[in-house]
Amino acid sequence: MSEGFKIQYLSTAENDLDDIFDYIMKDNPSAAVSLLEKFDRSISQLAVNPEIGAVPKDDRLEKLGYRMLIVGKYLVFYVVKANTVQIRRIIHGARQYSFLL
């Protein structure tokens, strides 16, 4: 059976995740841990089916091959390259995001 796709977090996405965790941790440590687990479960699904994420409604991001996975109130932006899913950014859904990518 195939191993599937490798999940690779770029440093920007790791920083995003750290910032989200630290921010929530200040007020609600259990919610912060729960959210990290939710990210892990959702993102790990990309190893099996990297096309489950939606194509962003931004022409530039679409041309660059971005997809986005919705995890609660957050958007996980990623690109599939060969057998690797590159997690590039994780941002709150209320933010304008095109300038961040």
Note the pLDDT of residue 99: 58
User: Per-residue confidence of the chain (101 residues) as pLDDT tens digits?
Assistant: 356 999 999 999 999 999 999 999 999 999 999 999 999 999 999 999 999 999 998 899 999 999 999 999 999 999 999 999 999 999 998 876 665 55
Note the pLDDT of residue 67: 96
Taking Cα atoms as reference points, which of 62, 71, 61 lies closest to residue 91?
A: 71
Structure tokens at 90: 């994780």
Sequence spans of domains, the chain: 6-96
Work out the angle between the directed axes of helices 29-44 and 11-27 (0-180°, nearest 10): 150
CATH number of 6-96: 3.30.2310.20
Q: How far apart are CA 24 and CA 65, in angstroms?
A: 31
Note the pLDDT of residue 95: 74
Q: What pTM does this model have? A: 0.89
